[in-house]
Each structure stands twice: as C-alpha cells, then as structure tokens.
Amino acid sequence: MKIVISPAKSLDFTSVAPTDKSTNSQFIDQAEKLNKILRKKSPKALSKLMSISDKLGELNWQRNQDWDLPFTPNNSRQAIYAFKGTVYEGLDAYSIPMDKLDQLQNKLRILSGQYGILKPLDLMQAYRLEMGTKLKIGRKDNLYQFWGESITQTLNNELKENEVFVNLASNEYFKVIKPKLLKAPVVIPVFKDYKNGNLKIISFFAKKARGLMVRYIIDNNIENTEDLKGFNYDNYAFDSNLSSNNQLVFTR
C-alpha cells in the first residue's frame, strides 16, 4: 500500500524529533532550481505571488535566503516531523512507535510544491510553495507543468502491480499526479460529518481524519481496501451505501 498526503503551511523546526534517522529527497536538484528562482523575489513579490501577508512575505523571503545545500541534521529536519498542520495533528507522528517507522517510510509519501515528493524521513528545510502557485520556471508556467510526469513516474517505480494506492491529499496536490498512468488502482477515502441533520464534508474535520486514516493504516499494518473499511478512529464508520468502488465514505 502507498499513501499520498498534502504538506502543511505550518512548520515545526524546534521540537525534538524522536529519531535521528533521515534520508535524502530524490528531487533535491529540482528543489534547488526552484529556490534559485524564489530567492530572487523580494518579500513584496512573494506576498503577491502567494497571496500572503507582508509578514509572511518577509518570513518566507528569509527562508529562501537561508535555504542551502547540502541538507544535514543540523540545518534541516525530517519531513514528517517538520509539517504541523491539521492532517499531521491527526497522524501524530511523534507518538508512532519506532518499530513502525520503517512501515511509515515505506508507505507514506508527502506531495510538495518545493520538493515534489517526500518520504517521511527525507530531510527538508523550511519553505512555503503551494502546488497551485503560479510560479514561472523557464518555459513552464506553473508547478504542475514543472513537475510534469516525474512524480507519477516515481510512484510507479515504487508501486507493485495492483498494489493499493490511497489518496489522502487535497485536490490541489493530487492534481500533480496522473492517475491514468498509475499502475495501481486509486482509492479515495471521504470523510463526512452530520451538521444540522445533513452529511457534509467539513474541511477541518476532514483534514484531521486524513491524518487519522494514515495512523490507522500504520497502527494496523493495513494492506488492502477491505481492511481499510474498518477505519473507526474518532468515531468514524464506513458507509457502504454512500461508497463506490474507488471512493470509500466514512461518516460520523
């Protein structure tokens, strides 16, 4: 089983990571190319490009200036412990037992505008570059064009024939993958909550549930779609009536 999730805007580079183990991102050369473009942009230009505040523009300008190779444990951090958003709150990587770390490293992939695709223990430096950012790179008009089919090819190189591929990423990030070229079926968990008597996808809860689903897969060594349906964290339950072959709907 392979799982993809989105990165987070919030980062944590201060908490003590529970392991010293780390790996290197395979797209570090492409990440460096993107950084060379970004570091030439002023704080104001970054704010306009990413539709962020002046304060965040200054912060990310400084991050771009500080970005430097080679990555080491002293100047970078494992991706799974660096991202801090709602999905990662649900995943709670800091409490994953060390004997489960290899399974996490094997199954989980984090899509990234800056790094393309990250394994959990891949080192990264602080950045902000959402996949939907309209950044021009040479003749490429945006990051989707820049990454092209490379991320899909990478996933295919790792996937076994008919291995289950679980999409827990947002639409913005999953768009960088070309599902028709994948050699594995894509399964999409969907999380809905009752609100005012109606079932709805509530963004905050759905994001947290994506992280909880990753944790469920790792906790229980899930390898197939049928076992995925047993997900019951945070009172969610599989609803067969609302589900289809590739979309598994969980409600609460």
**Average pLDDT, integer, range 55-65:** 98
Helix (H, G, I), strand (E, B) or coil at 79: helix
Q: What pLDDT is attached to residue 223?
A: 95
Determine the pLDDT at residue 161: 82
Q: Is the per-residue pLDDT at 186 higher than 90? A: yes
| Max CA pair span of the chain | 54
- Residue 16 identity (one-letter amino acid): V
Percent of the chain whose pLDDT exceeds 70:
100
What pLDDT sits at residue 8?
98
Q: Mean per-residue pLDDT for 204-226?
A: 97
Across the range 217-234, mean pLDDT stands at: 97
Reported as a single tens digit per residue, the pLDDT across 198-213 is 999 999 999 999 999 9
Cα angle 27, 84, 238; round to 5: 95
User: Average pLDDT, stretch 143-150?
Assistant: 97
Instruction: State mean pLDDT over 208-234.
Output: 97
37 and 67 Cβ atoms separated by less than 8 Å: no
* pLDDT (average), residues 191-198: 94
Q: pLDDT tens digits, residue range 24-40? A: 999 999 999 999 999 99
Mean pLDDT of 43-56: 98
* pLDDT for residue 245 is more than 90: no
Q: What single string gives the DSSP state of each residue in 164-224?
A: -EEE-S-HHHHTTS-GGG-SS-EEEEEEEEEETTEEE--HHHHHHHHHHHHHHHHHHT--S
How many C-beta neighbours within 10 Å does residue 118 have?
Answer: 26
Report, as an integer, the average pLDDT of 69-82.
97
Q: Could you state, in order of their start, the residue ranges of all structural domains in the chain?
A: 2-12+22-251
- Mean predicted lDDT score pLDDT of the chain: 97
Q: Quick check: 251 pLDDT over 90?
A: yes
pLDDT band per the 50, 70, 90 thresholds, residue 174? very high
Which residue has tokens 């444990």?
A: 73
Q: What local confidence, expressed as pLDDT, does residue 124 receive?
A: 98
Report the distance separating Cα 88 and Cα 82, nearest Å.
Answer: 10
pLDDT band at 162 (very low <50, low <70, confident <90, very high): confident
Q: In this structure, what token pair is assigned to residue 241?
A: 């009536």
